[in-house]
């Protein structure tokens, strides 16, 4: 099969980029695979290009490049196809509308896969009818605002399949949205086998990793670790990740670490690529998030042989961790419970070692080869069904196009009013 992924920016850093690269590389062992990046802002991908996969871009943001698109007048006009409810809308424009539309019109693939709601909308509206259209959800339905959920409910009816990273989110899509004829499948993210060897269960170090943002609740982790240090002062906590542009969360964590007298016990390590070597330096992993659409860091740690203590937050951790076997699940925001779960594993090296071995074995189900086979089976079934078998044929599509014309007219009016108001303010 010929498979084409549409990605926001393959040259940045992020979980969606990483898991798309993992999946594309695994699929490329048996299929012709390309990744089309809407934007390109640097010469080489920060996370390394996946082998065997063709990589190209639609809009060049490199100022020194002869193909620089930043001065195009269309780049200064807001997008109309890419939905405003998608959090990346401000980065999209009439230029991206035109480039994505031209790319999809010329598509020579059996399957096209979008990797965020705004791109899935483009695919639903503009991909050729004979191509299998799949929309991936890397966040959750509940994480989207009303405007985007409304757009999804209308536009996704012209997709052939929607994939989520958890079964809980797949249930939300099935029960809360009316998407007749659209397959909704839970297909988790993949994590390759780490280059570094398994972690040493005797290491007296807890490792956490992820962006320094409020939703990760590293403040809860620091408070919990203060209670750990009171009992086991020989243990250390390393937190990997960068903060937002303001640095507010990082500064707040530094202040909390100093206030709790933990400067010799808790360390903000910054970013690390690859992360597997850093996981392997610990014997426990910690995740204190308020919510996780999946939990890539949980799987990464488990693949290195670390049991994970995580909050039982929506939606991912409970579908990855088996409580009491390969890790622990504790209530969200409860630093006492989190400290207790850490200490249970810290105080018993034998238990920690058994949990680490169980984590290593359980995490094999997230290997890219296994996840790629599941995607491959879904795509093959949809390709074999043909356009009529997938979507109900030309009549259903014509009806949807008619309804879309009315839907688009309302949106066009709102856009026109918004543009006029912006002009008046200037």
pLDDT per residue as tens digits for the range 325-380:
999 999 999 999 999 999 999 999 999 999 999 999 999 999 999 999 999 999 99
More confident residue, 387 or 389: 387
Q: Residue 331: what pLDDT?
A: 98
* DSSP assignments along 75-117, one per residue: GGSB-SSS-TTSTTGGG-BHHHHHHHHHHHHT---SEEEESSH
CA 85 remoteness from chain centre? 17
User: Domain 205-366: which CATH class?
Assistant: alpha beta
Q: Residue 386: what pLDDT?
A: 86
Total residues found in the chain within this entry = 426
Span of 203-217, 231-245, 251-265 with lowest mean pLDDT: 231-245
Residue 409 has pLDDT above 90, yes or no: no
Task: Tokens for 330, please give them.
Answer: 């504790």
Task: Tokens for 9, please give them.
Answer: 């920016």
138 vs 210: CA distance, rounded Å: 16
Classify residue 284 by burial, with Cβ atoms within 10 Å: 0-12, 13-18, 19+. Answer: buried
- pLDDT tens for 288-314 read 999 999 999 999 999 999 999 999 999
- pLDDT tens for 244-298 read 656 789 999 999 999 999 999 999 999 888 899 999 999 999 999 999 999 999 9
Of 399, 383, 376, nearest in space to 163 by CA: 376
C-alpha distances out from residue 379 to 66, 73, 180, Å: 38, 39, 18
Q: Residue 388: what pLDDT?
A: 72
The structure's pTM equals 0.87
Q: What is the mean pLDDT of the chain?
A: 92
Confidence of residue 410 (pLDDT cuts 50, 70, 90): low
Domains 2-190+370-425 and 205-366 alike in fold: yes
Q: How many CB atoms within 10 Å of residue 79?
A: 24
| Residue with the two structure tokens 């799949």 | 134
- pLDDT tens for 347-358 read 999 999 999 999
- pLDDT tens for 149-166 read 999 999 999 999 999 999
Q: Residue 1: what pLDDT?
A: 96
Of 214, 207, 292, 287, nearest in space to 246 by CA: 214
For the chain, what are the domain ranges?
A: 2-190+370-425, 205-366
First to last CA, the chain: 51
- Please say whether the beta carbons of 37 and 49 come within 8 A: no
- What CATH number has the domain spanning 2-190+370-425? 3.40.50.2000
Residue 196 has pLDDT above 90, yes or no: no
Could you tell me which residues come within 8 angstroms of residue 258 by beta carbon, excluding any fewer than 6 positions away?
none
């Amino acid at each position: 099969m010929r498979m084409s992924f549409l990605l926001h920016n393959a040259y940045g850093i992020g979980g969606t980029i990483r898991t798309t690269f993992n999946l594309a590389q695994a699929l490329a062992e048996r299929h012709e695979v390309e990744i089309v990046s809407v934007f390109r802002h640097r010469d080489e991908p920060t996370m390394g290009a996946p082998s065997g996969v063709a990589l190209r871009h639609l809009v060049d943001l490199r100022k020194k490049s002869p193909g620089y698109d930043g001065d195009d007048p269309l780049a200064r006009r807001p997008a109309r196809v890419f939905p405003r409810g998608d959090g990346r809308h401000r980065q999209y424009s009439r230029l991206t509308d035109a480039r994505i539309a031209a790319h999809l019109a010329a598509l020579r693939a059996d399957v096209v896969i979008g990797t965020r709601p705004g791109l899935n909308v483009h695919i639903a509206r503009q991909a050729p009818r004979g191509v299998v259209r799949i929309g991936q959800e890397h966040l959750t339905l509940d994480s989207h605002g009303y405007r985007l959920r409304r757009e999804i409910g209308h536009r996704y009816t012209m997709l052939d399949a929607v994939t989520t990273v958890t079964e809980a989110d797949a249930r939300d899509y099935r029960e809360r949205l009316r998407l007749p004829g659209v397959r909704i499948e839970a297909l988790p993210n993949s994590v390759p086998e780490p280059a570094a060897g398994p972690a040493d269960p005797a290491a007296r170090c807890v490792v956490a990793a992820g962006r320094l943002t409020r939703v990760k609740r590293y403040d809860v982790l620091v408070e919990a670790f203060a209670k750990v240090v009171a009992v086991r002062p020989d243990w250390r906590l390393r937190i990997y990740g960068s903060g937002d542009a303001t640095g507010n969360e990082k500064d707040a964590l530094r202040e909390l670490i100093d206030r709790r007298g933990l400067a010799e016990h808790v360390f903000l390590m910054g970013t690390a690529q690859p992360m597997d070597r850093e996981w392997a330096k610990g014997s426990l992993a910690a995740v204190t998030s308020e919510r996780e659409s999946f939990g890539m860091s949980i799987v990464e740690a488990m693949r290195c042989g670390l049991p994970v203590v995580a909050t039982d937050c929506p939606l991912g951790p409970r579908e990855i961790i088996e409580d009491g076997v390969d890790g622990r699940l504790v209530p969200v925001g409860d630093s006492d419970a989190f400290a207790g779960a850490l200490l249970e594993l810290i105080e018993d090296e034998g238990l920690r070692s058994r949990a680490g071995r169980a984590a290593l074995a359980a995490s094999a189900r997230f290997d890219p080869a296994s996840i790629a086979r599941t995607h491959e089976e879904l795509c093959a079934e949809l390709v074999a069904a043909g356009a009529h078998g997938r979507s109900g044929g030309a009549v259903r599509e014509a009806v949807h196009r008619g309804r879309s014309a009315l839907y688009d007219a309302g949106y066009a009016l709102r856009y026109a009013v918004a543009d006029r108001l912006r002009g008046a303010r200037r």
